Amino acid sequence: MLNLDALRNAKMFDFPFQWGIANGILPTEPKSIQMCDDFPVDSFRYRRFLNGRYLRRPLIQLAAKTTFRNDELPDSYNELGEVLTSSAYRETLSKVTGINLGDAPMEAALWRSDSSTVFAMHDDQAQKLLTHVLYLNHGWNKRNGGVLQILASQDDDDVAFEIVPRLGVSVLIGRADNSWHNITPISRVAPDSRNTITVHFYRPGTSEKDLPIR
């Protein structure tokens, strides 16, 4: 369900902070396109944080071993949850990034964003060690917006790299004091909401009470 070989071959960068990109991480078509079409709709909650607004649904709650409300999820998402909670996935990320994730609590969530979503430039919470983002939109292009921007400074015009959220692309972001990144506004004519799975690894000992309301 997740191509760990593609993850092992991720291209890593040290500028302007540690981040990386992996292609072909999801199953080949047509299964990956079906995952896009089956992107869940239930149990999303509207949230505000850091001047941003978004819709979020837990896939795996912090330190859990199974998917959240798995009866609502298509089989492919429950299967993906099994991979995300596996030692093989965790060990692969540790080797690729050089970050020790052995005792790091993990959570994963589904995110839906559209033209009404407000994104805020940020560098992630201090409790985070690593973020892994998987994109689940086919037929998406730069004109649709929702482009991830890797920033070279705390200036949203200081763009070092841009990643279009295309199907099969995934991005790794190592948390640092300068790990600033942003997402461009989504066009009203985008073919769908911008759909992602975001996996977060936190410093050992982190619990729900240490994190913002999600």
Work out the pLDDT band at 48, boundaries 50, 70, 90: low
**Cis ω for the linkage preceding 212 (within 30 of 0):** no
- Structural domains for the chain: 4-40+55-203 (2.60.120.620)
The mean pLDDT of 69-75, rounded to a whole number, is: 94
* Alpha carbon distance 56, 214 (integer Å): 7
CB 101 within 8 A of CB 93: yes
Of 161, 152, 212, 200, which is closest to residue 184 (Cα–Cα)?
161
Q: Which residue has the higher pLDDT, 209 or 50?
A: 209
Summarised one tens digit per residue, pLDDT across range 161-197 is: 999 999 999 999 999 999 999 999 999 999 889 999 9
Determine the length of the chain: 214
